[in-house]
Amino acid sequence: MLEFHAVQEIEATTARLVELLQEFKATLQRDGMASMDEYGDLLNWGLPNKNGMSRSLHVFDPGYCSFSDQFYGTIHFHGGEIRGTILAGEVEHYTYQATKDANGDRFYADDAYTLTKHTRRHGEGMTYILPARVPHWIRPTMLTMTYFEEEDNGEMGDLVNPVTKDTDSHVWTQAEADALLPRLLAMIDERLARLSVLV
């Protein structure tokens, strides 16, 4: 059953941000740029699971794809709680209250829903927390790096828009993504330098 809860937001500690940025830097230096083919709307680096949570590092850019919630399978939910920490940049986070409605235009498990959209912006240093089964979607407002974790139960579902079969796929080439790598490393170093004066 789909749920609705307002997204929670807490400020990450300086020590936590430094820890995550250092992990991101080490991952980039070890693994290089993520594959463009893994996801259609973000660059992803998987991390070892910890404390029952599936963990990953993400990079979003407004030019990467359109980030429209009108495409076929963009709005989705996770089976467990999710948490995202904005390490650099900013995102608009859309959550949706799903109301069963025979005339609704989104579908999940043979039921039709009408969605009410709620928007919140998360800036760098903020951690958002969203309980299980709340439909959501994220749109970056600038080049953004995030740490993401979710309860490791593997469940996820789309609220399908049957009007279109188009998907929100990436428009960059792998070469363009690869060229972004030094910029990401520079962003991390700049953030670490700013945080160092707060320690």
Give the pLDDT confidence of 92-141 residue by residue, as tens digits: 999 999 999 999 999 999 899 999 999 999 999 999 999 999 999 999 99
Minimum mean pLDDT range among 65-74, 113-122, 175-184: 65-74
Residue 3 lies in a domain: no
pLDDT (0 to 100) of residue 152: 79
In a domain, 1, yes or no: no
Looking at the domain assignment, is residue 36 inside a domain?
Answer: yes
CATH code at position 156:
2.60.120.10
**Which of the pair, 48 or 156, is modelled with greater confidence?**
48
20-30 pLDDT tens trace: 999 999 999 99
Tell me whether residue 2 is in a domain: no
Whether 71 is in a domain gets the answer yes
**How many other β-carbons are positioned within 10 Å of the β-carbon of residue 138?**
21
Domain assignment present for 166: yes
User: Does residue 140 form part of some domain?
Assistant: yes
* Model pLDDT for residues 80-89, shown as the tens digit of each residue: 999 999 999 9
Q: What is the pLDDT of residue 199?
A: 67
Residue 105 lies in a domain: yes
> What average pLDDT does this structure show over 156-175?
87
pLDDT-based confidence at 38, cuts 50/70/90?
confident
Give the range of the structural domain holding residue 151, as residue numbers without chain letter. Answer: 8-194
Number of structural domains in the chain: 1
| pTM of the predicted model as reported, rounded to 2 decimal places | 0.93
